[in-house]
Amino acid sequence: MLKIAVPNKGSLSETAFQMLAEAGYQGRRDSRELVVLDPRNDVEFFYLRPRDIATYVGSGALDVGITGRDLLLDSESPATETATLDFGESTFRFARPKGTGIELETLEGKRVATSYPGLVGAFLKERGITATLVRLDGAVESAVRLGVADAVADVVSTGSTLRTAGLEIFGPVILESTAVLISSGTEHPGAGTLLRRLQGVLVARQYVLMDYDVRVEHLDEASALTPGIESPTISPLHDPEWVAVRSMVPRRDTNQVMDALYEVGARAILVSPIHAARI
């Protein structure tokens, strides 16, 4: 039975839960449940703090898990990233009080507050900078104002928490993070199925199915606009001068592709959602 670690709370938990449900797995019915057995799929889910997931998977106690890349690296666990899951995107950055002019080079000897000392420590060490890391659990943006640090290093998404705290980003990007699937490294037959199912959910979310009719002489032009993942499906129509085309198109490009297809003479352009996919 495949043992899967999933976030029980925090920014990643809701989307992780939704993706697993879309992938056909049994979710928990009550937020107090910590372990959920899913015998139909031969898996067992362990609801854990996102920060602890890499530790459990790295130790081999659990086979795979969903967590953030930043949390995985911070943990220094031997677990490895096997796929990105395209949610929970964030950037890990240094920030300073507006106008103080602290730079990466001048962090030497200064105090940097962070909830990710493993990640920040490794980044500074690689660059030969020695700073004092002040480990905090959260809300690190307040650390400078409260006098326990000279700068902070934290997760930035919209940047509004930083702005509100009177801070500004400086220095290089420490890490581009996203939710990831991680593995203990031991090959488990169920792990491939989980990965394919989650990738199927991502494809179903990111693509639509586009159907249209086009005159044969414009087919090359039209299918160049809708190359699909492998190649578009071309079907004959009763009128031999026309063909029907079906292809997957990135959801965010839907309207631009429809406009361009119309321009090259395609008609009856129809778009439908994809419920599930196995690519």
Ligand X SMILES: O=P(O)(O)OC[C@H]1O[C@H](OP(=O)(O)OP(=O)(O)O)[C@H](O)[C@@H]1O
Among 27, 117, 159, 228, binds ligand X (CB under 6 A): 159
> H helices of 38-92, where?
50-59, 69-75
- Nearer Cβ to Mg ion, position 138 or 189? 138
Choose the stretch contacting ligand ATP; rule: CB under 6 A; options: 4-12, 94-102, 165-173, 215-223.
Answer: 4-12
Looking at the DSSP bridge assignments, the partners of residue 242 are: 215
Site pattern 118..147 for ligand ATP (x: CB under 6 A): --------------------x---------
Pull the structure tokens for residue 276.
Answer: 């599930």
Does 175 sit near ligand X (CB under 6 A)? no
CA dist 48 and 46 (Å) reads 6
What is the 3-class SS of 235-267, one letter each residue?
Answer: EECCCCCEEEEEEEEEHHHHHHHHHHHHHCCCE
Residue-wise DSSP of 181-196: EEE-SS--HHHHHHHH
> Residue for token digits 């953030």?
68
Site pattern 106..145 for ligand X (x: CB under 6 A): --------------------------------xx-x----
- Nearer Cβ to Mg ion, position 11 or 80? 11
Least distance CB 167 / ligand ATP (angstroms): 15
Instruction: Yes or no: say if 24 and 41 are a contact pair by the CB < 8 Å rule.
Output: yes
- Nearer Cβ to ligand ATP, position 113 or 269? 113
User: 262: left (phi > 0), else alpha (psi -120 to 50), else beta?
Assistant: alpha
Among 2, 12, 144, 153, binds ligand ATP (CB under 6 A): 12
Least distance CB 45 / Mg ion (angstroms): 22
Among 63, 70, 141, 213, binds ligand ATP (CB under 6 A): 70
Does 26 sit near ligand ATP (CB under 6 A)? no
Q: Vertex 125, ends 121 and 127: CA angle to 5°? A: 125
Point out which residues bind Mg ion (CB under 5 A). 138
Residues lying near ligand ATP in the complex (CB under 6 A) are found at 9-12, 50, 68, 70-71, 88, 90, 138, 155, 157, 177
